Structure 1
Amino acid sequence: MSKMANSKDKQEQSKDPMYYVQFGYLLNRTGSLGAASMSDVLKEFDISLPIWQILLILSEFGEQTISELASHTGIEMSYLSRTVLKAEKRGFVARAKSAEDKRVTYIKLVTGGRQMIRKVLPKTRLLRGIMFQGIPAADIETTARTLSIVYHNLVSSVDAISDDINRKLIVARRTGKSDKE
Protein backbone atom coordinates (compact mmCIF):
# COMPACT_ATOMS: atom_id res chain seq x y z
CA MET A 1 0.00 0.00 0.00
CA SER A 2 1.37 3.42 -0.91
CA LYS A 3 2.08 6.12 1.65
CA MET A 4 -0.65 8.23 0.06
CA ALA A 5 -3.28 5.52 0.46
CA ASN A 6 -2.12 4.80 4.01
CA SER A 7 -2.35 8.52 4.86
CA LYS A 8 -5.83 8.69 3.34
CA ASP A 9 -6.95 5.70 5.43
CA LYS A 10 -5.75 7.46 8.60
CA GLN A 11 -7.71 10.59 7.70
CA GLU A 12 -10.86 8.61 7.00
CA GLN A 13 -10.36 6.54 10.12
CA SER A 14 -10.20 9.63 12.33
CA LYS A 15 -13.57 10.82 10.96
CA ASP A 16 -15.18 7.51 11.91
CA PRO A 17 -16.87 7.88 15.33
CA MET A 18 -16.28 4.17 16.00
CA TYR A 19 -12.52 4.81 15.83
CA TYR A 20 -12.77 6.96 18.96
CA VAL A 21 -15.13 4.54 20.67
CA GLN A 22 -12.68 1.73 19.99
CA PHE A 23 -9.76 3.84 21.26
CA GLY A 24 -11.60 4.61 24.50
CA TYR A 25 -12.70 1.02 24.86
CA LEU A 26 -9.16 -0.32 24.33
CA LEU A 27 -7.71 2.30 26.65
CA ASN A 28 -10.16 1.46 29.43
CA ARG A 29 -9.86 -2.28 28.91
CA THR A 30 -6.05 -2.17 28.89
CA GLY A 31 -5.88 0.16 31.89
CA SER A 32 -8.24 -2.03 33.88
CA LEU A 33 -6.35 -5.22 33.04
CA GLY A 34 -3.01 -3.55 33.77
CA ALA A 35 -4.26 -2.32 37.16
CA ALA A 36 -5.69 -5.74 38.00
CA SER A 37 -2.43 -7.45 37.00
CA MET A 38 -0.39 -5.02 39.08
CA SER A 39 -2.76 -5.50 42.04
CA ASP A 40 -2.21 -9.26 41.77
CA VAL A 41 1.57 -8.74 41.86
CA LEU A 42 1.25 -6.43 44.88
CA LYS A 43 -0.89 -8.94 46.85
CA GLU A 44 2.25 -10.98 47.47
CA PHE A 45 3.64 -7.97 49.35
CA ASP A 46 0.35 -7.05 51.09
CA ILE A 47 0.31 -3.63 49.46
CA SER A 48 -2.49 -1.91 47.54
CA LEU A 49 -2.09 -0.30 44.13
CA PRO A 50 -2.81 3.23 45.49
CA ILE A 51 -0.12 2.84 48.17
CA TRP A 52 2.29 1.56 45.52
CA GLN A 53 1.53 4.60 43.36
CA ILE A 54 2.21 6.91 46.30
CA LEU A 55 5.53 5.21 47.07
CA LEU A 56 6.70 5.45 43.46
CA ILE A 57 5.68 9.09 43.13
CA LEU A 58 7.46 10.06 46.34
CA SER A 59 10.52 8.10 45.20
CA GLU A 60 10.54 9.89 41.85
CA PHE A 61 9.55 13.45 42.84
CA GLY A 62 10.47 13.73 46.52
CA GLU A 63 8.16 15.03 49.22
CA GLN A 64 4.71 16.10 48.04
CA THR A 65 1.59 17.74 49.40
CA ILE A 66 -1.70 15.83 49.25
CA SER A 67 -2.74 18.04 46.32
CA GLU A 68 0.45 17.22 44.43
CA LEU A 69 -0.04 13.50 45.10
CA ALA A 70 -3.64 13.78 43.89
CA SER A 71 -2.39 15.38 40.69
CA HIS A 72 0.07 12.57 40.06
CA THR A 73 -2.24 9.69 41.00
CA GLY A 74 -5.67 10.92 39.94
CA ILE A 75 -6.99 9.70 43.30
CA GLU A 76 -9.63 11.83 45.02
CA MET A 77 -8.31 13.84 47.96
CA SER A 78 -10.46 12.21 50.66
CA TYR A 79 -9.53 8.67 49.58
CA LEU A 80 -5.92 9.71 49.08
CA SER A 81 -5.73 11.13 52.61
CA ARG A 82 -6.96 7.81 54.04
CA THR A 83 -4.51 5.91 51.84
CA VAL A 84 -1.59 8.09 52.97
CA LEU A 85 -2.64 7.44 56.57
CA LYS A 86 -2.52 3.67 55.91
CA ALA A 87 0.92 4.02 54.31
CA GLU A 88 2.07 6.05 57.30
CA LYS A 89 0.80 3.41 59.75
CA ARG A 90 2.78 0.77 57.81
CA GLY A 91 5.95 2.84 58.10
CA PHE A 92 6.23 3.71 54.40
CA VAL A 93 5.73 7.48 54.60
CA ALA A 94 5.82 10.30 57.14
CA ARG A 95 4.09 13.66 57.30
CA ALA A 96 5.98 16.86 58.03
CA LYS A 97 4.82 20.48 58.31
CA SER A 98 6.35 22.98 55.92
CA ALA A 99 8.97 25.24 57.51
CA GLU A 100 7.66 28.19 55.46
CA ASP A 101 3.91 27.63 55.89
CA LYS A 102 2.64 25.63 58.86
CA ARG A 103 -0.70 25.08 57.07
CA VAL A 104 1.07 22.94 54.46
CA THR A 105 1.89 19.30 55.20
CA TYR A 106 4.31 17.32 53.11
CA ILE A 107 4.33 13.56 52.73
CA LYS A 108 7.77 12.03 52.35
CA LEU A 109 9.11 8.56 51.72
CA VAL A 110 10.86 6.95 54.68
CA THR A 111 13.13 3.91 55.03
CA GLY A 112 10.26 1.40 55.20
CA GLY A 113 8.84 2.75 51.94
CA ARG A 114 12.21 2.62 50.20
CA GLN A 115 12.68 -0.96 51.40
CA MET A 116 9.24 -1.93 50.08
CA ILE A 117 10.04 -0.40 46.69
CA ARG A 118 13.29 -2.38 46.48
CA LYS A 119 11.41 -5.56 47.39
CA VAL A 120 8.57 -5.09 44.90
CA LEU A 121 10.39 -3.62 41.88
CA PRO A 122 11.75 -6.91 40.48
CA LYS A 123 8.21 -8.32 40.23
CA THR A 124 6.78 -5.14 38.70
CA ARG A 125 9.61 -5.08 36.16
CA LEU A 126 8.73 -8.65 35.24
CA LEU A 127 5.10 -7.58 34.67
CA ARG A 128 6.26 -4.59 32.61
CA GLY A 129 8.34 -6.98 30.46
CA ILE A 130 5.28 -9.13 29.86
CA MET A 131 3.10 -6.11 29.04
CA PHE A 132 5.53 -4.68 26.50
CA GLN A 133 6.75 -7.96 25.02
CA GLY A 134 7.19 -7.66 21.25
CA ILE A 135 6.56 -3.90 21.19
CA PRO A 136 9.45 -1.76 19.91
CA ALA A 137 10.69 0.92 22.34
CA ALA A 138 9.82 3.64 19.81
CA ASP A 139 6.18 2.48 19.77
CA ILE A 140 6.06 2.52 23.57
CA GLU A 141 7.47 6.06 23.61
CA THR A 142 4.94 7.20 20.98
CA THR A 143 2.09 5.65 22.95
CA ALA A 144 3.24 7.34 26.16
CA ARG A 145 3.47 10.72 24.39
CA THR A 146 0.05 10.24 22.83
CA LEU A 147 -1.57 9.34 26.15
CA SER A 148 0.10 12.33 27.79
CA ILE A 149 -1.37 14.62 25.13
CA VAL A 150 -4.83 13.02 25.46
CA TYR A 151 -4.64 13.52 29.25
CA HIS A 152 -3.56 17.14 28.86
CA ASN A 153 -6.32 17.79 26.30
CA LEU A 154 -8.95 16.39 28.66
CA VAL A 155 -7.70 18.40 31.64
CA SER A 156 -7.52 21.58 29.54
CA SER A 157 -11.03 21.11 28.15
CA VAL A 158 -12.94 20.10 31.28
CA ASP A 159 -15.48 22.92 30.95
CA ALA A 160 -16.21 22.13 27.30
CA ILE A 161 -17.09 18.51 28.03
CA SER A 162 -20.04 18.87 30.38
CA ASP A 163 -21.60 21.01 33.07
CA ASP A 164 -21.69 17.91 35.29
CA ILE A 165 -17.97 17.23 35.61
CA ASN A 166 -16.63 13.86 36.76
CA ARG A 167 -14.79 13.97 40.10
CA LYS A 168 -11.50 12.76 38.57
CA LEU A 169 -11.57 15.71 36.18
CA ILE A 170 -12.22 18.01 39.13
CA VAL A 171 -9.12 16.62 40.88
CA ALA A 172 -7.04 17.13 37.74
CA ARG A 173 -8.31 20.69 37.30
CA ARG A 174 -8.10 21.61 41.01
CA THR A 175 -4.46 20.65 41.23
CA GLY A 176 -3.78 22.63 38.07
CA LYS A 177 -1.28 20.09 36.82
CA SER A 178 -1.03 17.71 33.96
CA ASP A 179 1.42 14.89 33.57
CA LYS A 180 3.42 17.10 31.20
CA GLU A 181 4.59 19.20 34.14
Structure 2
Amino acid sequence: MEANDTSTKQGKRTPLLDDQLCFALYSTGLAMNKVYRKLLRKLDLTYPQYLVMLVLWEKDEQTVSEIGARLFLDSATLTPLLKRLEAAGLVSRTRSAADERQVVVALSPAGRALEQEAAAIHDGVLCATTCEPSDLAALKRQLDMLRGKLADHP
Protein backbone atom coordinates (compact mmCIF):
# COMPACT_ATOMS: atom_id res chain seq x y z
CA MET A 1 0.00 0.00 0.00
CA GLU A 2 1.41 3.43 -0.91
CA ALA A 3 1.90 6.09 1.78
CA ASN A 4 -0.76 8.37 0.29
CA ASP A 5 -3.33 5.62 -0.24
CA THR A 6 -6.21 6.20 2.21
CA SER A 7 -7.72 2.74 1.70
CA THR A 8 -8.04 0.39 4.64
CA LYS A 9 -7.78 -3.38 4.55
CA GLN A 10 -11.56 -3.54 4.03
CA GLY A 11 -11.36 -1.27 1.00
CA LYS A 12 -12.95 1.74 2.71
CA ARG A 13 -11.48 5.14 2.13
CA THR A 14 -11.19 7.94 4.62
CA PRO A 15 -13.64 10.66 3.59
CA LEU A 16 -12.02 13.64 1.91
CA LEU A 17 -11.49 16.79 3.96
CA ASP A 18 -14.20 18.69 2.11
CA ASP A 19 -16.67 15.87 2.87
CA GLN A 20 -16.10 16.11 6.64
CA LEU A 21 -18.85 17.75 8.72
CA CYS A 22 -16.30 18.62 11.39
CA PHE A 23 -14.24 20.61 8.87
CA ALA A 24 -17.29 22.45 7.57
CA LEU A 25 -18.17 23.45 11.14
CA TYR A 26 -14.58 24.35 12.00
CA SER A 27 -13.91 26.45 8.91
CA THR A 28 -17.29 28.18 9.19
CA GLY A 29 -16.47 28.97 12.82
CA LEU A 30 -13.18 30.52 11.73
CA ALA A 31 -14.93 32.64 9.11
CA MET A 32 -17.61 33.71 11.60
CA ASN A 33 -14.99 34.62 14.20
CA LYS A 34 -13.19 36.76 11.62
CA VAL A 35 -16.42 38.72 11.01
CA TYR A 36 -17.00 39.12 14.74
CA ARG A 37 -13.39 40.16 15.36
CA LYS A 38 -13.76 43.03 12.90
CA LEU A 39 -17.11 44.15 14.33
CA LEU A 40 -16.04 43.77 17.97
CA ARG A 41 -12.86 45.80 17.49
CA LYS A 42 -15.03 48.94 17.91
CA LEU A 43 -16.12 47.69 21.33
CA ASP A 44 -12.62 46.55 22.32
CA LEU A 45 -13.98 43.06 23.08
CA THR A 46 -12.87 39.62 22.00
CA TYR A 47 -15.49 37.16 20.81
CA PRO A 48 -15.45 35.14 24.08
CA GLN A 49 -15.74 38.38 26.09
CA TYR A 50 -18.68 39.39 23.90
CA LEU A 51 -20.39 36.08 24.68
CA VAL A 52 -19.97 36.70 28.42
CA MET A 53 -21.42 40.18 28.01
CA LEU A 54 -24.39 38.78 26.05
CA VAL A 55 -25.13 36.41 28.93
CA LEU A 56 -24.95 39.26 31.45
CA TRP A 57 -27.06 41.60 29.32
CA GLU A 58 -29.76 38.91 29.31
CA LYS A 59 -29.57 38.51 33.09
CA ASP A 60 -27.25 40.51 35.32
CA GLU A 61 -25.56 39.14 38.45
CA GLN A 62 -24.81 35.53 37.63
CA THR A 63 -22.33 33.14 39.16
CA VAL A 64 -19.30 32.01 37.23
CA SER A 65 -20.79 28.52 37.05
CA GLU A 66 -24.08 29.87 35.63
CA ILE A 67 -22.20 31.81 32.94
CA GLY A 68 -20.07 28.74 32.21
CA ALA A 69 -23.14 26.54 31.82
CA ARG A 70 -24.67 28.96 29.30
CA LEU A 71 -21.45 29.18 27.28
CA PHE A 72 -20.30 25.55 27.66
CA LEU A 73 -17.07 26.79 29.30
CA ASP A 74 -15.36 25.73 32.51
CA SER A 75 -14.28 28.16 35.22
CA ALA A 76 -10.60 27.78 34.30
CA THR A 77 -11.41 29.21 30.87
CA LEU A 78 -13.85 31.83 32.15
CA THR A 79 -11.79 33.26 35.02
CA PRO A 80 -9.12 34.96 32.85
CA LEU A 81 -11.88 36.35 30.59
CA LEU A 82 -13.75 37.75 33.57
CA LYS A 83 -10.57 39.26 35.03
CA ARG A 84 -9.94 41.11 31.76
CA LEU A 85 -13.54 42.33 31.63
CA GLU A 86 -13.22 43.50 35.23
CA ALA A 87 -9.91 45.28 34.47
CA ALA A 88 -11.66 47.00 31.56
CA GLY A 89 -14.32 48.26 33.99
CA LEU A 90 -17.19 46.34 32.40
CA VAL A 91 -18.00 43.89 35.21
CA SER A 92 -17.37 43.32 38.88
CA ARG A 93 -16.70 40.01 40.60
CA THR A 94 -17.68 39.46 44.24
CA ARG A 95 -18.04 36.46 46.51
CA SER A 96 -21.62 35.32 47.03
CA ALA A 97 -22.99 36.20 50.47
CA ALA A 98 -24.98 32.94 50.46
CA ASP A 99 -22.02 30.74 49.46
CA GLU A 100 -18.52 32.22 49.58
CA ARG A 101 -17.25 29.49 47.25
CA GLN A 102 -19.20 31.11 44.43
CA VAL A 103 -18.24 34.28 42.59
CA VAL A 104 -21.01 36.54 41.32
CA VAL A 105 -20.36 38.56 38.18
CA ALA A 106 -22.30 41.80 37.69
CA LEU A 107 -22.33 44.46 35.02
CA SER A 108 -20.82 47.82 35.86
CA PRO A 109 -22.48 51.00 34.60
CA ALA A 110 -19.97 50.99 31.71
CA GLY A 111 -20.86 47.37 30.96
CA ARG A 112 -24.55 48.19 30.87
CA ALA A 113 -23.91 51.19 28.60
CA LEU A 114 -21.89 49.03 26.19
CA GLU A 115 -25.03 47.07 25.36
CA GLN A 116 -26.34 50.00 23.30
CA GLU A 117 -23.19 50.02 21.16
CA ALA A 118 -23.23 46.23 20.86
CA ALA A 119 -26.75 46.19 19.44
CA ALA A 120 -25.30 46.80 15.97
CA ILE A 121 -23.14 43.66 16.09
CA HIS A 122 -26.04 41.30 15.32
CA ASP A 123 -27.05 43.33 12.27
CA GLY A 124 -23.43 43.44 11.07
CA VAL A 125 -23.16 39.67 11.25
CA LEU A 126 -26.50 39.20 9.52
CA CYS A 127 -25.34 41.54 6.74
CA ALA A 128 -22.03 39.67 6.37
CA THR A 129 -23.81 36.34 5.84
CA THR A 130 -26.00 37.70 3.02
CA CYS A 131 -28.49 35.02 4.08
CA GLU A 132 -32.18 35.37 4.78
CA PRO A 133 -32.94 35.63 8.53
CA SER A 134 -35.34 32.68 8.24
CA ASP A 135 -32.59 30.52 6.70
CA LEU A 136 -30.19 31.47 9.49
CA ALA A 137 -32.84 30.71 12.12
CA ALA A 138 -33.39 27.25 10.60
CA LEU A 139 -29.63 26.62 10.49
CA LYS A 140 -29.30 27.68 14.13
CA ARG A 141 -32.07 25.26 15.15
CA GLN A 142 -30.27 22.42 13.32
CA LEU A 143 -26.96 23.28 14.97
CA ASP A 144 -28.59 23.46 18.41
CA MET A 145 -30.12 20.03 17.81
CA LEU A 146 -26.78 18.63 16.63
CA ARG A 147 -24.97 20.06 19.66
CA GLY A 148 -27.55 18.47 21.94
CA LYS A 149 -27.17 15.08 20.31
CA LEU A 150 -23.39 15.24 20.50
CA ALA A 151 -23.52 16.33 24.15
CA ASP A 152 -25.79 13.37 24.95
CA HIS A 153 -23.56 10.88 23.12
CA PRO A 154 -21.78 8.51 25.53
Alignment partner of 1:130 is 2:127: yes
List alignment gaps of at least 5 residues for structure 2: 1-14
- In the TM superposition, residue 44 of structure 1 has moved relative to its aligned partner by 2.5
| TM-score (ref. length: structure 2) | 0.77
Give the Å deviation of 1:107.
0.7
Q: Following the alignment from structure 1 to structure 2, what is the Cα–Cα distance between the partners of residues 77 and 97?
A: 15
| Residue 72 of structure 1: aligned partner | 70
Structure 2 residue aligned with 1:95: 93
Q: Which residue in the other structure is 1:121 paired with?
A: 119
Higher mean Cα deviation, 96-105 or 28-37? 96-105
Q: How has the CA–CA distance of structure 1 residues 21 and 108 changed in structure 2, closer, same or farther, with 3 Å as cutoff?
A: farther
Q: Deviations over 1:20-40 (max 9, x none)?
A: 944332222111111111011
Unmatched segments (≥5 aa) in structure 1:
1-16, 161-181
Q: Which residue of 2 aligns with 1:86?
A: 84
Name the structure 1 match of 2:142: 146
Percentage of matched positions with identical amino acids: 24
Aligned amino acid, residue 81 of structure 2: T
Structure 1 residue 136 displacement after superposition: 4.9
Return closer, same or farther for 1:144/1:134 CA change in 2, 3 Å cut-off: closer
Report what 1:56 is aligned to. Answer: 54
Relative to total residues, which structure has the larger helix share, 1 or 2? 1
How far off is 1:68 after superposition? 2.1
For this pair of structures, how many residues does the alignment match?
140
Partners of 1:44 and 1:99 in 2: how far apart?
36
Deviation at 1:79, TM superposition (A): 2.9
